[in-house]
Amino acid sequence: MKSLILTGPESTGKTTIAQHVSKELKIDFIPEFSRAYLTSTNGHYEYSDLAKMAREAQAGIDINTATKLILDTDILTYKIWSEVKYQRTDPWIEANLKINKHSLYLLCYPDIAWSDDPLRENPHDRLVLFTKYEDLLRTLELDYFIICGKNSRLLKALEIATNYFNF
């Protein structure tokens, strides 16, 4: 399976880009698992919930039989989230950080306006979070492109995806 994974800070266009690329290229899309989970808990969670979300999100990826996938986030998000919120990371998350190592990541830069949402927590430190994501991608030696530009991010993401999936 080949997968393209959108990652980065909150409110940087990940879902919009993932849905756009999925629709344009007719590739299956797996939405952000934590959004559904947090909606079901009215936004309440604890440290242990992050590992639970990460495991369930990865299980949804693992059972998918498509040969090409677009993912709206993956396990890297749970690593960053854990470190920022709780200053620690569950051992399962740590052990599985490279589970999607053959994927291509699109790291979304925070150069678009913040969109309020009751499930979002970090409106003022998106650039700091972006740096954490990029550092983690580099440390894990994962392939990635930075997606930026208020008006060009959809086109750039589609161009990269088209080449990646050999369309």
Q: Place 15 in a pLDDT band, splitting at 50, 70 and 90.
A: very high
Report the C-alpha gap between 56 and 65 in whole angstroms. Answer: 16
Condensed to tens digits (0 to 9), the pLDDT of residues 32-52 reads 999 999 999 999 999 999 999
Q: Place 9 in a pLDDT band, splitting at 50, 70 and 90.
A: very high
Mean pLDDT, all residues of the chain: 95
pLDDT, residue 119, reads: 85
Condensed to tens digits (0 to 9), the pLDDT of residues 104-116 reads 999 999 999 998 8
| Apex 59 CA angle, 54 and 60, nearest 5 | 100
- Whole-number percent of the chain with pLDDT over 70: 100
* 34 alpha carbon, distance to own chain's centre: 10
Structural domains present in the chain: 2-164 (3.40.50.300)
Residues 21, 165: contact at Cβ < 8 Å? Answer: no
pLDDT, residue 133, reads: 98
Q: What region does 156 belong to: left with phi over 0, alpha with psi -120 to 50, or beta? A: alpha
Report the C-alpha gap between 112 and 151 in whole angstroms. Answer: 9
pLDDT, residue 42, reads: 94
